[in-house]
Structure 1
């Protein structure tokens, strides 16, 4: 029974969706405690309309983080396009302390020129926009210290949405002190039984746009994992009739076999420096964690015994691994020190805990927690042991953390289908990225691009 749970719940990863379709965001839950922010529609200076609504992309990005609640355009007191046009009191009266505004035009080469600003409303109201300071020569000049940044960029049309994510990252980092993760991707496996190649490995922007097929097969594909430079994916393939571990360059399409041992080869996970790969083999009879040196191809066994050990994930410092084991009876999450092999149990709340991942700052463990409600995504404070259940559906699995630790993408059930869902790390915001048909599972969030 345990082996079936291990193989079924946290190794097998399949999905289904029509090719080239964006994963539509459907907001399922948010909270009023998120920080209000004004994302003013950017002024378009030209005929027609730009190919992307830059402000809408920025607003969606910031809302998904759970930290911000963009004000609806219909509820904005004004739509200023420069920092000089902002009525600080009007924005402050509706509880907004930051505003993003800007304009877009086209140059003679047909490229988009974007000018945008992030404005501190509170500081601007205190100074009434007329704060003065001394310049380098000691002269008294007008200071706009309420403008947190003012930038200009020239981008080709096909990269306009990508640059909108870049603006989101800049705003997020300036206001939170943490690096934004909106300019990232997700990888996932799709199963379309009506296709001649039913198993497909795809990548997309983190929000599901710009989906691209990178690999298709008549046999199962599983467990995609990103390299730290975001150029490669490790994955499991059954193209020879049994499981093998492969690595693919997503830009050249070049693939190579990493392991092809008898029985099971699975659960790949790159080390933080990209030089090693944690993986799971069953060549000794039970599932055990190993580390493969990608240069020398030397294999080191990390766990052993008669119990099943799987789902390795590297701690941020690369000196330890967390993994799932049934050594205590039912699956729980453990940590092993790679220098001396000492192992400690991390999870105690809930009858089962699976699929552990650790946030980049090492503070929290994200996992699948089984409780009375079912299998849910949960967060455990590694210092205090406190557990917070982040989701409420009956069968959530395969959590994958954003590289800044702010969001989690995972597989869940909706209307009897597997779909991709997202939850902020504090549980404030939840969204669903439904497929147009079939099941979508096993997302893997890329590192920073």
Structure 2
């Protein structure tokens, strides 16, 4: 294990307790054309615990649409077991992961594993993750992230989290779940609407709009403690918060001076500064990945379109020109793309623009898409949509090939926000 990195991760006390969970279920509706065949052997150690870790990792890779899982049932291998590369190649596996679970003296569990390239008959590396019984699924997510990155060259997002709002029986629940929809817990419940949740860059806080004061007010909520504070409660509407990449400021939309315009404010509510000046409505701000500019929606030209302004304010430049309705700009974390909602033939659909070429591709065939949110590796986009009059979430790859559908049996799901990488 000398070449295997050791990392400790314990997630505890992140969410307030005492509320009913609304678990997301995922349905795969599209997959990549050329999936990588991968096998994950049964891990050595406690069989019950190993099934949780291995089952989670297998499900993550299968769900991604990029991997074809090769049946490895009945093969128990630890990270040091000799690998018969030819035998695994004959089963159709290009890569094989094997590992073990070891109980440490302090009662915690170490999940060790190694990944092998069966085509080249070489080891690709491995890791050891220290966790506890309650966080075994996170170990599985971390293993899947490792395999994903080694085989695709891009970071995996299986260990990230998502936030969303469930409306059920007259209540609004702000929920946090694993990226696969499991482990849902409620951060806030209210009889009034909760909208526009957005994650802080460090993944420890959410900003959102709550109507609990009978008007839209912006809050910042610290997940580890449940503490929250008001950032904007000015006359009129306070809406659409967006974090700066350094986590120190928020772009917000205020109507205190007339029409809705974009302002920036420190996270503690101080340092308010107006950024846009127009006779129209400016809304839905989002910082570019490098923090130097802000994308936003405006009807200043007569119809809703997407514009861009320097983060310090100034003259705005129009970004979208195709069609008469383009809203909800979401720049990708890698800075290359812009996701947004476009109206085509009366249908509201998710589209993506390559910012270098300005080429636009519509990614969905649905009717009522809204609230796009990029995964932190920029490869998937989470949206709210509607099927049969019921709100649910969909995840679509940035090339449109891979599709997933996430729903809750107990209510409508809206306002998705994909969290950052967990460090």
Give the TM-score, by structure 1 length: 0.83
Q: Which of 149, 154, 170 lines up with 1:173 in the alignment? A: 149
After TM superposition, the structure 1 = structure 2 runs for residues 155-166 of structure 1, keeping only pairs within 5 Å, are 155-166=131-142
Aligned partner (choices 155, 161, 167) of residue 185 of structure 1: 161
- Map of 1:276 onto structure 2: 249
Alpha-carbon separation, structure 2, partners of 1:398 and 1:64: 22
Separation (CA, whole Å) in 1 of partners of 2:156 and 2:391: 28
The alignment partner of 1:447 has SS state of: coil
Q: Is 1:447 aligned to 2:423, yes or no?
A: no
Aligned residue number for residue 316 of structure 1? 289
| Structure 2 counterparts to residues 360-371 of structure 1, below 5 A | 360-371=333-344
Q: Quote the residue 2:38 is aligned against.
A: 38
Residues of 2 paired with 1:111 and 1:295: CA distance?
38
> How many residues of Structure 1 are paired with residues of Structure 2 in the alignment?
403
The equivalent residue for 1:359 is: 332
- Specify the SS of the correspondent of 1:202: strand
Any conservation in 2 of the 1:39–1:55 contact (CA below 8 Å)? no
Question: What per-residue deviation string (whole Å, max 9, x for no partner) do you get for residues 77-117 of structure 1?
Answer: 99462575544345445664322222335567654442311
What's the CA shift string for 1:65-87, capped at 9, x where partnerless? 44x222242xx699462575544
Residue 268 of structure 1 deviates from its aligned partner by 0.3
2:316 paired with 1:343: yes
- 2:124 alignment partner, one of 148, 163, 168: 148
Instruction: Supply the distance in 1 between the matched residues of 2:220 and 2:42 (Cα, whole angstroms).
Output: 42
**Which region of structure 1 is more displaced relative to structure 2, 105-114 or 318-327?**
105-114
Say yes or no: does 1:328 pair with 2:315. no
* Superposed CA offset, 1:15-73 (max 9, x none): xxx93232111111113323x23132423534x6227532332233234444x222242
Separation (CA, whole Å) in 1 of partners of 2:332 and 2:355: 10
Deviations 1:164-183 (CA, angstroms, capped at 9, x unpaired): 11112222222233222222
Q: Deviations over 1:186-227 (max 9, x none)?
A: 112222235xxx122111112211111111222222111111
> CA–CA distance in 1 between the matches of 2:51 and 2:301?
53
1:119 pairs with one of 109, 116, 119? 116
- 75, 81, 95: which one aligns with 1:98: 95
Write out per-residue CA displacement over residues 260-312 of structure 1, whole angstroms, 9 at most, x where no aligned residue.
11221100011000111001111232221111123571111111222111110
Q: Secondary structure at the match of 1:207?
A: coil
Name the CA shift for 1:175/1:342 in 2 (closer, same or farther; >3 Å): farther
Shifted more, 345-354 versus 260-269: the winner is 345-354
- Alpha-carbon deviation of 1:119? 0.8
Gap runs ≥5 in structure 1: 1-17, 125-145
Q: Which has the greater radius of gyration?
A: 1
Counterpart in 1 of 2:347? 374
Q: 1:51, 1:176 → 2: CA distance?
A: 25
Q: When the two structures are superposed, what TM-score results if normalisation uses the length of structure 2?
A: 0.88
**CA distance in structure 2 between the aligned counterparts of 1:64 and 1:311, rounded to whole angstroms:** 31
Distance in 1, matches of 2:49 and 2:283, equals: 48
Which whole-Å CA distance do the structure 2 matches of 1:169 and 1:193 have between them? 37
Secondary structure (helix, strand or coil) at the match of 1:49 reads helix
Contact kept? 1:227, 1:234, Cα under 8 Å: yes
Structure 1 contact 40–79 (Cα < 8 Å) conserved:
no
Check 1:85–1:381 CA distance in 2 against 1; reply closer, same or farther (3 A cut).
Answer: same
Structure 1 residues 167-316: aligned runs within 5 Å: 167-194=143-170, 198-294=171-267, 297-316=270-289
Whether the aligned pair in 1 keeps the contact of 2:108 and 2:130 (CA below 8 Å) is yes
* Counterpart secondary structure, 2:136: helix
Q: Deviations over 1:302-341 (max 9, x none)?
A: 1122211111000111110001111222222111123462
Distance 1:21 1:204 in 2: 10
SS in structure 1 of the partner of residue 25 of structure 2: coil
2:396 matched to which residue of 1?
423
Aligned to 1:28: 29
Aligned to 1:15: none
Aligned to 1:70: 68
| 1:364 CA drift (Å) | 0.6
Name 1:390's counterpart in structure 2: 363
What is the distance in 1 between the residues matched to 2:386 and 2:238?
27
Q: Could you tell me whether the CA contact under 8 Å between 1:64 and 1:430 is conserved in 2?
A: no
C-alpha change, 1:295 and 1:100, in structure 2 (3 Å) is same
Aligned counterparts of 1:348 and 1:97: Cα–Cα separation in 2: 45
